[in-house]
A and B are shown apart, each in its own frame.
Chain A
Amino acid sequence: MDARRGSRVVKPKVRQVGFFTLDAPNPPGRSLSGPVGFGSSQQSLSPPTDPLSPVMIPPPRHLSDNFASRSTILPVPTPANWRNSGDQIHVGSYNPSQTLLATSPSSRIWDDELEMSEDSSTSVPYRRSGSGKIASSLPGLGVHMAAKSSENSQAVPLRTLGPNKPSGVAENNGGVPTEVQNQPPPSSSKSLKAKTTKAERRALQEAQRAAKVSAKGETNKSGTAPGKTVKQPSAMKDSTAAPSVASTDKRGGDRTLDKERKKDAPHPRMQFDDKNRVEKAKKRAVFNQTEARNRVELFRHLPQYEQGTQLPDLVSKFFQLDTIHPAIYKVGLQYMAGDICGGNARCIAMLHAFQQAIKDYSTPPQKSLGRDLTAKIGGYVSFFNECRPLSVSMGNSIRFLKNRIAKLPVNLLESEVKATLCSDIDRFINEKIIIADEVIVRHAATKIRDGDVLLTYGSSCAVEMLLLYAHELGKEFRVVVVDSRPKLEGQALLRRLIASGLKCTYTHINAISYVMHEVTRVFLGAAAVLSNGTVYSRVGTAGVAMVANAFHVPVLICCEAYKFHERVQLDSICFNELGDPDAISKVPGRKDVNYLDNLTAKEQLQCLNLMYDATPSDYVSMIVTDYGMIPPTSVPVIVREYRREHLWI
């Protein structure tokens, strides 16, 4: 009991060691690595609470801003993987980024950067303007050599890096005062030098590996590269397995840690006006986000961060985020930058990232795969949540995945488990999203007659597929695409529709009441459908539905059943997402519209850029799902009848 209590007291410190390297630069913290860690590992050889995946190299924990100050920038590891998984994401038209990138102003910077990163594996994938760290390419051959030699000679200390963290716990536990938490972040310090080199070596190794992988991908130079990449994980596995012998006694403490971590995990719908909770969440957050100061009173319970403050911080921390798999990290960044948006695209990207992470996962010794993997995925989920609040579709698929993990038969081998989970994820994507969309499209197409004028708002992939399908069927109809600032997603949709030869009208939401006269059907997408029939969708949808209702035009919602949620929501205030307020105060490409340029910081002006709104079920005539066409009053039936099936498939 004593040990447990002790570890509980020290808990915040552990967190800091794990996540907040910037804030823990003091000598006790430093003593974790190298020989000290090795020595102390006698008493605390237990595996870390968040075990490293075999591919990930345990990163150094103290050196974050060393990278910054030295202006050595390292490419994100495994760019080849990156590209592969990127390809995986493009399923059908779910990822609108291919075409959206060029059109949406917010993602333009990212577009460039992404292109850069794809041009050559050695360039810097995430470079933020103004950081002044425009870095050289990969370190030269000499460094390579050094890294290589280090790999051999330094094998022992490297191995201890894995279990280092718990050893740090033990140290802290042993009586290091709590001042650790409140230390101001240091500038680059000379005293860190010894470890710096090691960190550097580590980083270089990463880079080297990345280079190798990319070289393999691009030039097909040799068959040795894959062998290498295969070998390394196994080596790491060995290294993680090594300390297992002496680790049994610490398990109890670990479990409590796990438990606390779980307990402490911020609720996905945390109320951000609750100061205590926000503080707590911040402590365990993966990266610092500056909260926007000037927020609308009614929406203070929603998270809003200064745009642009998150990325540099996150990028600089890449090597400290030892618990985050690169695939997860990448997808998280893409969420944050807005490169992946739309419920289906986000969900598919997330699931593919999970797949990647599961493939690279190995159960740490003395742990049960089910629990450990669930905890790990929980960590990934909270990372995603920090990047951008989770969508209902993501929430439901996470629930599915966790349920699958929990229901795994005990007697399976690890490799079998991983294969099952991956195929389960594939099946989920296939059955619940792709085939579901096909069914929806087929159902909804029966409601399109010749001579119809269809109206759609924003860009929904299901509606897009429907329009294209109906066009293929040879139905004669016209489409009105209604759009709104700031995202202007409709333009991307319009482009694709016109490319397929549909007759289109494009208008802004301001003209909706004018254009509604001629419309015979309104087709809308949805981010979620709640059990009272409320449709939760892109902001502006409710307005469109209301106008359509006033004109007695039927409103059809195309939504896959996996986006149904048993929650009830009456307004769009309780649960919503705040976008970048600058996006509405500035008009891109218009220099003359600058009335708000200096006003955004003022107290009196509060910009509200809501992302979603709730359409009451009265305005909805029909919801088209994979289970057929149902009235909005029947959503709870679907939720009730198919909840089990959703979890099982």
Chain B
Amino acid sequence: MWWRSASFILDKQQTEGVSKPPETLSISPPVDESSMADTFQNPNPKISAYYQSRASHTAVVTSDWLAQAQAAVGFPTDEQLLSEADVKDSESGKPFSVIDEFNNWRKQPDLAEAVAAIRSLAAVIRSSQATTMMELEIELKKASDSLKSWDTTSISLTAGCDLFMRYVTRTSALEYEDFKSAKSRLIERAEKFGEISCKARRIIAMLSQDFIFDGCTILVHGFSRVVMEVLRLAAQNKKLFRVFCTEGRPDRTGLRLSNELAKLDVPVKLLIDSAVAYTMDEVDMVLVGADGVVESGGIINMMGTYQIALVAHSMNKPMYVAAESYKFARLYPLDQKDMAPALRPIDFGVPIPSKVEVEKSARDYTPPQYLTLLFTDLGVLSPSVVSDELIQLYL
């Protein structure tokens, strides 16, 4: 099926031009004063911070989530943002903190953690009192380090910070004589980078449209905002397809995805996680998101992705991954246990005796040989290209 090849899609994309879907993302952080308390320290070290924030805005749809979403949609205007920033600067008996900023951004359910990080780092540049380039760079470095150490388990946060540092500071603009112009150039670059990262999801959705053909059945695992975007666009394009959602234990993110899809009138079927192999023969493709894409081209994703990939591989079904390029991380796990584990509480519904051990790891590593293609904002890539991109970015 030549028309499903990646290069064809890219060509088509170029010739047709990009039709832009309406702007849905808000640009400013919703200011939530009450959350300032838990900003400096991860309040519950037992649980990976990444999954706390995920749980806060990707868990099963609740009324308060809806309320929050409403609040986010009614975003403040730019002037408001600026004035807020001014206020913050002027009133600062309390110094500017990246983590506060980051947490503000993070509250927004549609905003990826990495993008939040990128934005808060951009804010660091903006509010910096530094008078030399070196000072600014050091400040930036410190901010990104503190962000990274705030949550070491989040791959996209780390990768986003690293990429930002690369993208922003590795520029000839730094050789400007004038510090002011250099700084404004940096801010420009930072904003551009944030914008690119924001648009990434839409680009991916458009790139992957030609892989979804009429009458296909797609198996998805967990809730991924990119995957949601892809499916939403497919539904908007009047494609006829059906989606199998896994339940996504323990946080049941699959339920949320099925709710969203049902709203779009896409036929959905819910499966328990252990029914993947049972239904695989009906499935035409597997589509998953990723927490992080590692250097080998494999992905780190929600627990259960690896076994789905194994089943899909053994049944010769294509396995597609939708991931933004800011999730590309310089990590190279050799096997499942070769990563810092991200822990997550699991509710079994019944009390577990203390003697029984519980595997609390929240994610697994899928090696590249089980992946077919990666849909990224850099294009549709085969897994081996990830490393090429990373080498070019980092070396």
Contact = CB atoms under 8 A, between A and B. Distances in A.
A232 interface: no
Interface stretch (B11-19, B113-121, B384-392): B384-392
B395 A622 contact: no
Interface string A303-321: 0000000000000000000
Contacts of A628: 295, 330, 391, 394-395
Interface in B288-343: 295-297, 330, 332, 334-335, 338
B384 A631 contact: yes
Contacts of A633: 297, 384, 387
A627 interface: yes
Interface in A509-528: 521
Chain A contact-residue range equals: 10 to 19
Contacts of A629: 295, 332
Interface string B88-99: 000000000000
Nearest to A443: B332
Contacts of B335: 552, 554
Contacts of B384: 631, 633-634
A282 interface: no
Interface string A608-649: 000000000000011000011111011001100100000000
Contacts of A552: 335
B392 A630 contact: no
Contacts of B368: 631
A631 B294 CA distance: 10
A637 B387 contact: yes
Interface residues of B, number: 16
A630 B334 contact: no
B387 A631 contact: yes
A622 B388 contact: no
Contact of A622 (B330, B334, B391, B394): B334
Contacts of B338: 447
A631 B295 contact: yes
Interface centre among A447, A627, A628, A638 (most CB of B within 10 A): A628
Given A622-B296, A629-B295, A634 B334 contact: no
B387 A634 contact: yes
A637 B330 contact: no
Given A630-B295, A631-B296, A633-B297, A554 B391 contact: no
A628 B329 CA distance: 13
Given A447-B334, A554-B334, A622-B332, A631 B297 contact: yes
Given A447-B338, A554-B334, A630 B391 contact: yes
Contact of B388 (A521, A621, A634): A634
Nearest to B384: A633
A634 B387 CA distance: 6
Nearest to B335: A554
A641 B297 contact: no
B328 to A, nearest CB: 13
Contact of A637 (B296, B297, B391): B391
B332 A638 contact: no
Interface in A427-450: 447
Interface in A199-257: none
Nearest to B334: A554
A633 B335 CA distance: 18
B334 A627 contact: no
A638 B334 contact: no
A556 B381 CA distance: 25
Nearest to A630: B387
Contact of A641 (B296, B330, B332, B392): B392
A568 to B, nearest CB: 15
A621 B395 CA distance: 21
Interface in A329-351: none
Nearest to A446: B332
Interface in A69-121: none
A637 B394 CA distance: 13
Contacts of B394: 628
Given A630-B295, A634-B384, A641 B334 contact: no
A106 to B, nearest CB: 37
A637 B395 CA distance: 11
Given A447-B338, A621-B334, A628-B330, A641 B387 contact: no
B110 to A, nearest CB: 33
Contacts of A556: 334
Interface in A554-570: 554, 556
Contact of B395 (A521, A554, A627, A631): A627
Nearest to B394: A628
Interface in B355-395: 368, 384, 387-388, 391-392, 394-395
A627 B297 contact: no
Nearest to B389: A637
Interface string B251-276: 00000000000000000000000000
Contacts of A447: 334, 338
Contacts of A638: 391
B374 to A, nearest CB: 14
A634 B295 CA distance: 10
Most chain B Cβ neighbours within 10 Å, of A552, A634, A638: A634
A637 B297 CA distance: 14
Nearest to A638: B391
Given A622-B332, A631-B368, A634-B387, A641 B395 contact: yes
A447 B395 CA distance: 21
B151 to A, nearest CB: 21
B391 A641 contact: yes
Contacts of A634: 384, 387-388, 391
B300 to A, nearest CB: 15
Contacts of B388: 634, 637
A630 B297 CA distance: 10
A641 B395 CA distance: 10
Nearest to B387: A634
Contacts of A631: 295-297, 332, 368, 384, 387
A352 B338 CA distance: 41
A638 B395 CA distance: 10
- Interface-centre pick from B295, B297, B332, B394 (highest chain A CB count, 10 A): B332
B340 to A, nearest CB: 12
Interface in A37-66: none
A447 B335 CA distance: 10
A569 to B, nearest CB: 19
A638 B394 CA distance: 12
B392 to A, nearest CB: 7
B254 to A, nearest CB: 29
Nearest to B294: A631
A7 B261 CA distance: 86
A631 B388 CA distance: 10
A347 B394 CA distance: 29
Nearest to A621: B334
A628 B388 CA distance: 12
Nearest to A636: B388
Nearest to B395: A627
A503 to B, nearest CB: 22
A637 B391 CA distance: 8
A629 B330 CA distance: 9
A554 B297 CA distance: 16
A551 B265 CA distance: 47
B96 to A, nearest CB: 34
A310 to B, nearest CB: 44
Contacts of B297: 631, 633
Nearest to B388: A637
A67 B250 CA distance: 88
Given A628-B295, A631-B297, 13 more contacts: A554-B334, A629-B295, A630-B295, A631-B295, A631-B368, A634-B384, A634-B387, A637-B387, A637-B388, A637-B392, A638-B391, A641-B391, A641-B395
5 A-B pairs with least C-beta separation: A633-B384, A554-B334, A634-B387, A631-B296, A629-B332
9 contacts: A554-B334, A621-B334, A628-B395, A629-B295, A629-B332, A630-B387, A633-B297, A637-B387, A641-B391
